[in-house]
Structure 1
Amino acid sequence: MDLRGLEAVIAVYEHGSFSSAAEKLFISQPALTRRVALLERELNARLFVRGPRGASLTDAGKALIEPARRALRATESIRWAIGQVHDGDRGSLSIVGTPNLTGGTLGSLLGEFHQRLPEIEIQVVSAETSAAATAMVEAGTHDLAIVDQPVTSPALSVTAVGQEEFLALMPAGSTGADQDTELRTVTQAMLLGLTMLHLPEARFPRQPGTQLFTMLAAEPSARIEVPDCGLMIQMTLSGRAVAVLPRTVAMAGRHESIDLALPPTPIHRSISIARHRGNRSAAARHFLELATARGELSA
């Protein structure tokens, strides 16, 4: 059923004549008459009776008015909803990243994004490696991948969104500073006798803990592999281990039994967002704009 025919019928009914309705709809009277005639033919019913005082509805026309109005309102609702998706105000956003890249600042960034665009449904999933995350985006199953390694696929566009700084979490008293003072710099002596906690090397070969011990020519008393940053924080409470974590995660894990310290040479890693070049999601575009405006995306 042609919605323009329904619109024409309502206009004639509301304005009392075909000429007034045509003027209201900014079309010629013959064009409006044709729309009504096509609808009458489709319904096999006469909708108007023309008289000296204009056009009046038949019983069939009276029965049509309210359903026609509901249909047009529904059409406007559909157009509005689709427009919201096109504008990025509604829709969905799926992000994939590795476990050490889906916390901290990403959490606050997602919180800000949700506050700005509450009608967008957000899904965050984990992949074992950045390569696996980008493969999922390349396959079209997710909108964006948060990565910390170079992306070589020509199917993906990559947006650099900043760097994250790493801090060392150490047993309380190791640095000789209280938590209200500025962070001290790690020395070789501070690392003596400490176990190095690290994420699985098969998935994350560039371990910041290894970088810290290497730059100070120190050797950990032992190495323990753990699956995530949260467990690394808990294990530092034992008083015998050191973990090197992104600043946001480290600050969130601050505890009276933990000292925070700066590596002697800053440890950073670059964070980027990968997106399939064929992905036209307005929600993904808005997220990228927000991440770029923030200037950083830390784990």
Structure 2
Amino acid sequence: MERREVEYFLAIAEQGSFTGAAKALRVAQPSLSAAIGQLENRLGGKLFHRLPHGVRLTPAGEALLEPARQVVRDLSTARDSVRQVLGLTAGRLDIVAQTTLAVDPLARLIGDFLRHHPQVDVRVVDQELGRTATGSVRTGECELGVVDASTDPEGMDGVLLAGRQIYAVLPPGEHAQKRIGLSELAARDFVATPEGTATRAVIEDVVAARGLRPKVSVETAHLAMVVPLVLAGAGVTLLPESMAVGASREGATVLPLRPKVVRASRLLWRPGPLSPAATRFIELVSKTAVPPRHRR
């Protein structure tokens, strides 16, 4: 297979149509169709079901998807490695993370990384509902992933990141006390993101510590909507310190929990060769990672 054919195949799979892929790649659709036809002839079977509106992968196409992504990534890694040897500063870093973890701690880590390597392009992908960050790393869609520390997938390498303290975020002017107990908090109505998200997992774990299930008054897939809903009196929520500080500036009541709750996260990647950018990022993160003797 030629790299061009593999890239065309991946673009069609991601866009869901030949038309969308041709537009994204800025190539003529007949050229794209001809290249895929040649690839299918060479492999001996159809890779796509041609539908009235778009395409769908055949079983053969599904089987090719992960190897194709890895081929493209390996070629990029080889190119970046040569550039590094030749003294060039370039490359691309792809990281997948749930939104809350992207805000804290990933944003800070990326900022530190870019101060040392400003020429590297960084792409942060949000974890879609129903699709895990681990799955995106396994398939080669992203080189690195940031997940909650409770996730420790088999067959993956990783480092445990420093923990972040969790705070209760309540409507304005609601509490005069300095802290809020978990039992009192567990009895409140929550504003939360959907199940499977990092914010929801924190809420469920904190409330579960009191043998209860959280009562979610408003569920929203838009994390940016959570604080405005709390400010409007729709309920309370739990957020890491960096996001809670922002909520406090907007007028929310922000209280530490009693007892204190700290959540750690994990940076993970597939074993094997990594791009120079990913290798440097891991080296930087490892300097502030949790030492093995302190891991729980």
The one-letter code sitting in structure 2 at the alignment partner of 1:278 is G
Counterpart for residue 152 of structure 2: 151
Find runs of 4+ consecutive structure 1 residues off by over 4 angstroms.
Answer: 85-88, 188-194, 202-206, 211-222
Aligned ranges 1:60-209 → 2 under 5 Å: 82-84=82-84, 89-128=89-128, 132-148=132-148, 149-154=150-155, 156-176=156-176, 184-187=178-181, 191=185, 194-203=188-197, 207-209=201-203
How much does 1:90 deviate? 2.1
Asked if the contact 1:85/1:282 (under 8 Å) is kept, the reply is: no
How much does 1:173 deviate? 2.1
Asked if the contact 1:143/1:279 (under 8 Å) is kept, the reply is: no
**SS where residue 228 of structure 2 aligns?**
helix
**SS where residue 111 of structure 2 aligns?**
helix
How much does 1:215 deviate? 5.1
Please report the RMSD computed on the Cα atoms of aligned residues, expressed in angstroms: 3.4
1:192-221 deviation per Cα after TM superposition (whole angstroms, max 9, x unaligned): 984211221245596333444455688877
The one-letter code sitting in structure 2 at the alignment partner of 1:161 is L
The one-letter code sitting in structure 2 at the alignment partner of 1:138 is R
What CA distance in whole angstroms lies between the structure 1 residues aligned with 2:80 and 2:151?
40
What CA distance in whole angstroms lies between the structure 2 residues aligned with 1:206 and 1:80?
38
Aligned residues: 211
Gaps of 5+ in 2: 1-78, 291-296
What CA distance in whole angstroms lies between the structure 1 residues aligned with 2:131 and 2:154?
10
**SS where residue 140 of structure 1 aligns?**
coil
1:192 and 1:150, CA in 2 relative to 1: closer, same or farther beyond 3 A? Answer: closer
Counterpart for residue 253 of structure 1: 247
1:217 and 1:153, CA in 2 relative to 1: closer, same or farther beyond 3 A? Answer: closer
1:142 and 1:256, CA in 2 relative to 1: closer, same or farther beyond 3 A? Answer: closer
Asked if the contact 1:165/1:267 (under 8 Å) is kept, the reply is: yes
The one-letter code sitting in structure 1 at the alignment partner of 2:153 is T
How much does 1:83 deviate? 4.2
Asked if the contact 1:175/1:190 (under 8 Å) is kept, the reply is: no
Asked if the contact 2:192/2:216 (under 8 Å) is kept, the reply is: no
What CA distance in whole angstroms lies between the structure 1 residues aligned with 2:92 and 2:287?
21
What CA distance in whole angstroms lies between the structure 2 residues aligned with 1:225 and 1:265?
26
**SS where residue 163 of structure 2 aligns?**
strand
How much does 1:81 deviate? 9.0
Match 2:227 to one of 233, 258, 277: 233
Asked if the contact 2:182/2:257 (under 8 Å) is kept, the reply is: no
What CA distance in whole angstroms lies between the structure 1 residues aligned with 2:160 and 2:186?
37
The percentage of counterpart residues that share the same residue type is: 22
Asked if the contact 1:193/1:240 (under 8 Å) is kept, the reply is: no
Gaps of 5+ in 1: 1-78, 178-183
Counterpart for residue 8 of structure 1: none
More divergent stretch after superposition (98-107 vs 235-244): 98-107
Asked if the contact 2:170/2:236 (under 8 Å) is kept, the reply is: yes
1:209 and 1:136, CA in 2 relative to 1: closer, same or farther beyond 3 A? Answer: closer
1:39-67 deviation per Cα after TM superposition (whole angstroms, max 9, x unaligned): xxxxxxxxxxxxxxxxxxxxxxxxxxxxx
**SS where residue 287 of structure 2 aligns?**
helix
What CA distance in whole angstroms lies between the structure 2 residues aligned with 1:206 and 1:198?
6
1:117 and 1:192, CA in 2 relative to 1: closer, same or farther beyond 3 A? Answer: closer
TM-score, length of structure 1 as denominator length: 0.60
1:82-134 deviation per Cα after TM superposition (whole angstroms, max 9, x unaligned): 34268794211100112222113311221221121011111110113697211
Asked if the contact 1:199/1:207 (under 8 Å) is kept, the reply is: no
